[in-house]
Structure 1
């Protein structure tokens, strides 16, 4: 049984600094530098709006991550439900008063940042379920009431995000939630039954999709059916990646990007520009860097004494793996375009904010790895 401890930590500032995971910090710092130079390339080799804003957000959120790491991990356990329900309220607010762009109503203008609450829910769902499964005994994990409560926690934000509409983010939120159920001890048979039910329901699900979502699926199956319309982005993405060859065309020399053949290259398709300029070698290097980051998060989870910290670290590591895999598969034409940013690399304040909060909590778990939670 875990002993009760105070929300504040007995560690000194020096001890907290000493306990930081410097391999993870250095890896994130390197990734941040790479992301800035790639964003600089999207601005045509000039320090313009995208690179300026990206650098400002990257610096601000990196410092915020360091500050979060010094908070006792028990603080995040204590406020997990509050954080989750706060984001639920923000999602409801978005559905009523949010900014509408291109038919989607996903953002709140907070003046300093245009916030997309659904991105924060990627962290909120992990926090909430990590606390829930930390609290219940292993004997009750597979009871009907426990599973029902878990599904309600997952389904509620999904419904709100789907209404925006944002199918891609809702799938990522569902993935993050389901992995915590699995890590929490829910039997595999329930996942198999759910998967079979999903397959049976697939024809109905497709009928309720928005027209542009159906078009994305058809484009994924056959991009050449509309090469100058819906299929244009993915066709140009594959051309750009392929043209990078083994070692790439060199920094600031990506022709597909600089000649504007590739729209939206600074957001979800940032890997395309990177791969064209740095080729197969650069792409493998970036994937290795992401792998190191994920493995460090998993390692931090293994040394934590509290099940809450372990569940969060393992869940966040899996979520990162899913985000990266979905994004790379999307730009390579292996999955339909679902609007999944590449962590830290892609332009976007909400995505980077959520990711850095996640890393801050992971680092807090490392700094207070000996912390026990009742």
Structure 2
């Protein structure tokens, strides 16, 4: 088709096809196409490729319940309720439960000897700098070196005295009874694209149900026993309670919002988030300090608590899908190319003689047509007054007499006897 021909734009060209009359090849073709179609349908239904998806938007609130009693040396029996062991539980999407504690009672602001440690011992006042402090200090140095006990002398500091001296948490954990505490998790979710709202406390769950449900019998129960969550995370509560740690509560929503297959229920899983092995010798577990203050005879006092415990981080993720004709058309269009695998495989069988050498050769001859590249015609020109032949290229612009020959050959004369 000439490039300058405008009528060529109104033409349609198609590929040349070769049809082979063969029951075996036809059966193979439809078998492969059927297998590809089955694979496409399975993937479409399994991954819901015919749906439009939206990610979850979530909010979480928790309510911990449980009471424990402990006996501390020098303190006596202490009763612990939610206000005591979960006082710092208002973090976003997490709550903390104290499982172990070091208590230092009757602290007052005054002057006392610093707790001895590496590099903190002194021999005279010259070893102590007035007003000095560092990250490990419990107070500000006064410049005096005083006796801490019979064997050691340390710098005097202005601090809350007596200073906390115990560093290792008690074993076993003082609040080991926290294993039987429970927590109610309320999770509200929304899928903005579909204006769909739901929460993990389902409509059929009434007050009587929540008082008696247990995850061992009902996986949808929103009330969890702390010991069960730690156990499902692969840990032992009594060991983890000594120094504390972090447990992740994963709530997954995988919702199908189509009317005939509507399903939107949460699934819960648990895992430990902190590294207990690699950090075993360097700041293991989880702990923090807080104090309770009171006034005795006009003097402010406090009780210092070094709390060890487990923080539970709640992570909500998921998606919802709903039928979309556009997504279905996109998926079908993207999978049509899979049918080319049938042609590739059958062509390979024929061209490699795995099917039949004769059929493969006949197929190749009919399917592939070899066309040599176009070349200019070479003419032999002879003049009656010359004994030689001239080889010239044909030209439409010049006459043969004016064309310069490419080469000259001697004329062969055949003698007739």
Q: Which has the larger radius of gyration?
A: 2
TM-score category, normalised to shorter length: under 0.3
Greater strand proportion: 2
TM-score after normalising by structure 1? 0.19
TM-score after normalising by structure 2? 0.17
Which gives a bigger RCO, structure 1 or 2 (Cα 8 Å, sep 6+)? 1
Greater helix proportion: 1
